Each structure stands twice: as structure tokens, then as C-alpha cells.
Structure 1
Amino acid sequence: MTAETDGADPADPTSSALAHFGNEVLIEREALGMSRAEFGKEATCGYDLVIKVEKGQRVPPREFAEACDRVFPHANGRFLRLWPLALKLAYPAWFRGYVELEGKATAVRMFHPQLVPGLVQTEEYARAVLRTSRPANLEDLVTARVERQRILTRDNPARLWLVLNEAVLRNQVGDAAVMRSQLLHLRQLAETPIHRVQIIRDKGQHHGWASPFGLLSFSDGADVTHVDGFPKGYVLADSDDVTAAQDAYDLLKAMAEPPDESAELFDSISKDCYS
């Protein structure tokens, strides 16, 4: 539950964009005389998801909205237009501004010392990470996190440069199968020509950066930096802060192994630790 919906009746279509989306699905489905199970087949999802979306209890994935526009004859793209408003409720309020900037970025640089960043997590890795804080809206958080990754696969995708400590690959999240899948995903990113993935090997000496941070670049406008933290992260646009982050990132890249060696390292660690 978010601040916007706290104390509100999720079944009231005026209580939130999510409730409105669900009510519109209910109206259109019943107008067609279609059961929830039948619509679930059209949307390639289960009955449970349909009922939870209609009741304003779950944020639907983008594919659900696309199915609504395809199945309901008078939708005219309405559900895909409504969907981003519903999706916003799955992000913490303090994080929404960053997500909007990330969606506009032409290049993303990220460093993380302990975990795979959310932008490149597999669905099961994301679920395992998010589950640790025992949120009531776990599946909404997973949906929202995975949705951010469309910037890497869209037409004219954002370019990604990722630097990770070797510990990220060895810190087990979930079970061995989750880690194998995650390392394979990183390997595929490393071998995608427009992206770069570098690993800082563990040589027994700390390199000095303990906080995850990233930089966003745009076709028009100055870079910004995002610093992760607890209980919330923050975006910095001041030129001195951005310059400091750029310098730090350049140093981290210099400490890391060459990008062409990443795929072999993923294979080796996957075999040694998770086979």
C-alpha cells in the first residue's frame, strides 16, 4: 500500500489510478460477457491476476494493458494510456522522479558493490531481493522493477555501462538456479555490442567506494547522478556533484577488468559456485 492509497477502499474507482484502471477492465469485460478465466487466457495470465487487477489490488504488467486494448473493441488504446499512471503506484514516491529520468536517458552508468542493480535483475532475482524486506506489495514491486528494463530493449535503446564488484557475483541471492539465470543475463548484456559490463576483481583490498551510484545522460540536457541509500536514494543535478560522480566512475572503470573478459568470468563463477 502506498501513501496515495493508504486508508482508501481499493475497490472505489475514484480512489487511485490503479483502482480506475481495474474498474475499466471490469466494465469492458462484463460488457463482452467474458469471464475472468476467458480474459486471462487472452492476456496470458491467471484468473487470480485478473480479479486482483479489477479490484485495484495489483499493478498489471504492460502486456495486460496491451491485451485489454486488443480484446475490448472500443478501447482505442485507452488501457495502455492509463497503464503508466497505475504503474507509478508501485514505485516509492521518492523514486518516481528518478524512474522518469531513467526512461528518458540515452546512456546509463551504474556501479554496485554488493547486488546486481535493479535495472538488470532477472525477475526471480528481483523477487528474492525485494522479498527480504517483507513488503505487502511484493508482486507490484517486481512488476515495476522489471518494467524499467524496457529502456534497454526499446527502439533506440539506452546504452548501459555497468561496473560491479566481484562480490556481486558471489553473494547468493535466492537459490543456485536464480544465480545461474542472473549470471547468464549479465553475460548476455556483456556480449551486446552497445553495452559494457566490467567486474572489479576481489584482490583483498577495498577500492574505497561502498555506496551504489549511477549516472544518467540525455540527448538534451546535463547529466544527473543517482545515489542509493537507506531509507531512500536521491538524485543530484548540481554540476560539482555530477563531476565528482563522473570522476569516481572513471576510476572504477580503470580498476575493473576489461569488458571482453566479463563473459568468461560469469561462466567460471556460475560453474564454480552455482552448478
Structure 2
Amino acid sequence: MSVETEEADTADPTASPLVHFGREVRLERERLGMPRQELAKAATCGYSLVAKIESGDRIPPREFAEACDRVFPHSNGRFIRLWPLVLRYAFPPWFRRYVELEEKAAVVRMFNPQLLPGLVQTTDYARAVLRTGRPANLEDLVTARIERQRILQREQPARLWLVLNQAVLTHTVGGPDVMRAQLGHLRDLAEDPTHRVQIIADKGRHHGYHSPFGVLSFPEGSDVVHVDGFPRGYLLAEPDDLEKARGAYDLLTAMACPPDESADLIDSTLKDHYS
């Protein structure tokens, strides 16, 4: 995934949702005669981030939008209402539909043979993964990826079922400190009764699945399959594709260790590789 890189005229508030958001922040701040440093303090961020948000150069975290609604007396929740649109346009057009569906999903099933998927990555792990593509807008990419994880923290969280190859645990991303924190986060998810984490132990035999994919299920309507790939992923909704994806996922869960054994495998990996 990458943030859209289309050139936008930052003097034109209609150029993009990001530019519009930044202009509204600056207008409200200047109307109050508030220095940027004061807004930065209220939003618990740096002066430079406020400047970049106002110029339409950085994606605001949700907490920044919430701070604006607290600080600006007549906003009436405007900034938190604008924020989802800003975030949606942080993703490339081909990925936006998936993000919209993911936000509505009741159950998210994911398989990844090589990396932790973005939905469960820590900030440092995500930064290390995304940095490999040498993007000019790395922090925007990280912000957009981490914000997707709110579906696991909402009042009625999406249920996550995650299947990973054991190699994901030992494939060092960002160094031992990053991996300790990442596997600790994965261990917490494995202990959460809402979610399921299963590891396919490496027994020297390949199971035949090498592409990351996932299945989204909703309170109403049919499932949707997402297949990750290069240079872009794609969505599938045809009944035949859904049946094949469900069958593949069922087979992977059957091959994987049960949840309790998977949690033990995460613990042993932490001890043996990153202690």
C-alpha cells in the first residue's frame, strides 16, 4: 500500500480531503490567534507535524482531529467527521474499497506466509516493513496502516482469525527489539478470547499456499476475499472464488497448531531468538 502521490495545489482547499482538512485547521487556529506550538501541545504532537498537516503534507492521526474539536470552540465535531475521508484518501484508489469493507467486517480471517499482516503490526514493525520500499512519505504510510487497527478496538470489535507460517516469527524485521515488541503484541492477541492466532509449525514440508489472502465476513451480505499481491491486491466476490478461499483457509487452520500450542510457540520463539 502507498499513499496517493498525485500533485495537489495546496492553495486550493478542494484539491484533496487532506488539503481541505489542513486549511480548516489553519483557519480555526488563526481565528483564535493560537500559535502552532499551543495547538501542538493540546494535540500532544510536535510543532512540525502541525505545520505539515496545515499545509496538506501529512495525514493527521485521529487523536489530532479529536484535539482540534476540543480546542476549537465552534467546530461541533467537524474535524472528527472529516478525518475518515482524509484517511480513506491516504490509500491508493485500488485499496480504498478494501479498507471500507474491512471497517464494516464482523470477522476478519487472514493468512500470511512471510510477514505479520498490517492489521496486527506494531508501529515500529510497520515502519520497518514499509521503509524497504523507500517511500518519500513513510510516516503517512505508517499512520494509515496503524489506523486500520481501530476495528479491533471498537466497542464491538471485529473478530480476527490469523494463520501464520512459523517463519513469520523468526523472519527478523527491524531488529530484535522490534521483534520482541511485535511478538509480544501477537501474544496478547493470542490470549484475547475475541481472536484466534494459529501458527503452522515448520516441519520441513510446504503446505502449497504462498500468497497472503484474507476473507471478510459481515453481519449481513456475502463474504469478500482479498488477495495480496504485487503491484496491487484485488477483491473477489464470486461464489466459486469464495468457496475456494474458504476451503483453503479451512485447510490451513487444520494444518496449524491449535491456539494454545500456537501461543506456546510464540513464547518459545521469543525466548530462543529474541531474548
So what's the TM-score if we normalise by structure 1? 0.97
Q: Deviations over 1:214-264 (max 9, x none)?
A: 000000001111000000000100010011000000000000001012222
The letter for the 1-side match of 2:219 is: S
Name the CA distance, whole Å, in 1 between partners of 2:3 and 2:161. 32
* TM superposition shift of 1:166: 0.2
Contact 2:53/2:60 (CA < 8 Å) preserved in 1? yes
Name the CA distance, whole Å, in 1 between partners of 2:36 and 2:263. 44
Name the CA distance, whole Å, in 1 between partners of 2:8 and 2:141. 20
Matched, 1:58 2:58: yes
The letter for the 1-side match of 2:173 is: V
Name the CA distance, whole Å, in 1 between partners of 2:161 and 2:194. 9
Contact 2:3/2:141 (CA < 8 Å) preserved in 1? no
Contact 2:3/2:137 (CA < 8 Å) preserved in 1? no
Which moved further from structure 2: 160-169 or 261-270?
261-270
Equivalent residue number for residue 200 of structure 2: 200
Contact 1:109/1:162 (CA < 8 Å) preserved in 2? yes
Q: Secondary structure at the match of 1:119?
A: helix
* TM superposition shift of 1:11: 4.1
* TM superposition shift of 1:31: 1.2
Contact 1:187/1:262 (CA < 8 Å) preserved in 2? no
Contact 2:112/2:212 (CA < 8 Å) preserved in 1? yes
1:174-189 pair list within 5 angstroms: 174-189=174-189
* TM superposition shift of 1:14: 2.2
Equivalent residue number for residue 139 of structure 2: 139
Name the CA distance, whole Å, in 1 between partners of 2:241 and 2:14. 41
* TM superposition shift of 1:12: 2.9
Unaligned runs of 5+ in 2: none
* TM superposition shift of 1:151: 0.6
What RMSD in Å do the two structures reach over aligned CA positions? 1.1
Identity within the alignment, % = 70
Equivalent residue number for residue 98 of structure 2: 98
Unaligned runs of 5+ in 1: none
Equivalent residue number for residue 15 of structure 1: 15
Contact 2:200/2:256 (CA < 8 Å) preserved in 1? yes
* TM superposition shift of 1:203: 0.6
Number of residue pairs matched by the alignment: 274
Matched, 1:243 2:227: no
Equivalent residue number for residue 160 of structure 2: 160
The letter for the 2-side match of 1:66 is: E
Name the CA distance, whole Å, in 1 between partners of 2:106 and 2:203. 33
1:102-113 pair list within 5 angstroms: 102-113=102-113
Runs of 4+ that moved beyond 3 A: none
Name the CA distance, whole Å, in 2 between partners of 1:89 and 1:10. 15
Contact 2:125/2:178 (CA < 8 Å) preserved in 1? yes
Name the CA distance, whole Å, in 1 between partners of 2:142 and 2:7. 23
So what's the TM-score if we normalise by structure 2? 0.97
Q: Secondary structure at the match of 1:109?
A: strand
1:201-240 pair list within 5 angstroms: 201-240=201-240
Name the CA distance, whole Å, in 2 between partners of 1:87 and 1:11. 20
The letter for the 1-side match of 2:213 is: F
Contact 2:3/2:140 (CA < 8 Å) preserved in 1? no
Equivalent residue number for residue 254 of structure 1: 254
Contact 1:11/1:56 (CA < 8 Å) preserved in 2? no
Which moved further from structure 2: 86-95 or 150-159?
86-95
Name the CA distance, whole Å, in 2 between partners of 1:265 and 1:46. 40
Q: 1:77 to 1:178 in 2, by over 3 A?
A: same
